[in-house]
Amino acid sequence: MHFDILTLFPGMFAGPFGESILKRAQQAGQISVGLHNIRDWASDRHRTADDAPFGGGAGMVMKAAPLAASIRAVRGDPAAVPPPPVILLSPDGEVFSQAIAAELAAEPRLILVCGHYEGLDERVREALVTRELSIGDYVLTGGELAAMVVVDAVARLVPGVIDGASITEESHSDSLLEYPHYTRPAVWEDRPVPAVLTSGHHGEVAKWRRRERLRRTLARRPDLLIRAFAQGLLDTHDLAYLAELGWRRL
């Protein structure tokens, strides 16, 4: 899978993309990342990519011409092949989720546009952006950090990047949070590992982990249980256990 990232500050990506799983995935050829400086498409000698907003007001706005030129150049001829999604990272976008990450992981290529300043000229949004994503209800100084989050969340779902068994029961994979994890030593500061995990009884371990997922989700994110129930992801055993814990679905 290939990610093209259009940004005014490509140097921000050097650390996150050069470490850990993303680094190994690039070395293995499972993903690739292209960083593109929007200023390279500016026409003046100062490589100006922003200007004051019409109508006045605080801040600056990303200029239409260099941004549009960068998107078109990186995207290529839209008539030659089905064009990749052009995704703007913006506080106005739909909130990014694990479901959206899984959807995007099925694409062979994504173009991520990092907004900056007060935003971009609306005409570029209307003409070239196909989707907008936000990573939460808050405002960042630019879309670069949001783009890093999207790349990380999507890349780890690309086949081969992470062991498939590690993904199936992690938080948000099925609207439940993940169960607790433990490793050696079996007792740490007088705190023992739950006995079931050292029992060697795989069926009981699986039952304990499922119940811990339900218990933790109820305690921390009860809203997710409503979603899981609506999606038919809770069986009769789950519902009985949740009832024991005091959950009453509306």
What CATH number is given to the structural domain containing 238? 1.10.1270.20
Residue 204's H or E segment, with its range, is helix 202-220
Which of 102, 133, 164 is the C-terminal boundary of a domain? 164
DSSP letter at 184 equals S
Do 190 and 156 belong to one domain? no
Burial of residue 235 (CB within 10 Å: 0-12, 13-18, 19+) is exposed
Report pLDDT digits (tens) over 52-87.
999 998 899 999 999 999 999 999 987 777 889 999
Angle (CA) 55-58-64 rounded to 5° is 65
Do 85 and 184 belong to one domain? no
Do 81 and 179 belong to one domain? no
Q: Is residue 170 part of a domain?
A: no
* pLDDT, position 82: 82
Q: Is residue 169 part of a domain?
A: no
pLDDT at 166 over 80: no
Do 146 and 192 belong to one domain? no
Do 146 and 121 belong to one domain? yes
Which residues, 6+ apart, have CB-to-CB distance to 141 below 8 Å?
A: 116
Which residues, 6+ apart, have CB-to-CB distance to 135 below 8 Å?
A: 89, 95, 96, 145, 146, 149, 150
Give me the percent of the chain exceeding a pLDDT of 90. 87
Between the CA of residue 13 and those of 50, 96, 147, what are the distances in Å?
A: 21, 20, 9
Which of 141, 164, 187 is the C-terminal boundary of a domain? 164
* pLDDT, position 118: 86
Q: Is residue 26 part of a domain?
A: yes
Report pLDDT digits (tens) over 5-58.
999 999 999 899 999 999 999 999 999 999 999 999 999 999 999 999 999 988
Q: Is residue 205 part of a domain?
A: yes
Secondary structure of 85-152 in HEC code, one letter for each residue? CEEEEEEEEEECCHHHHHHHHCCCEEEEEECECCCECHHHHHHHCCEEEECCCCCCCECHHHHHHHHH
Do 61 and 157 belong to one domain? yes
Tokens of 247: 């959950």
Rounded CA separation 60/74 (Å)? 24
Here the CATH number for the domain that contains residue 86 is 3.40.1280.10
Do 78 and 136 belong to one domain? yes
Do 205 and 127 belong to one domain? no
Residue 95's domain comprises 2-164
Which of 123, 144, 164 is the C-terminal boundary of a domain? 164
Q: Determine contact, residues 148/74, Cβ cutoff 8 Å.
A: no
Do 206 and 140 belong to one domain? no
Lowest mean pLDDT among 55-64, 86-95, 162-171, 222-231: 162-171
Of 118, 123, 111, 112, which Cα lies nearest the Cα of 140?
A: 118
pLDDT at 134 over 70: yes
* pLDDT, position 250: 64
Do 133 and 195 belong to one domain? no
Report pLDDT digits (tens) over 114-130.
998 889 999 999 999 99
pLDDT at 165 over 70: no
Do 156 and 215 belong to one domain? no
Q: What is the mean pLDDT of residues 163-192?
A: 83
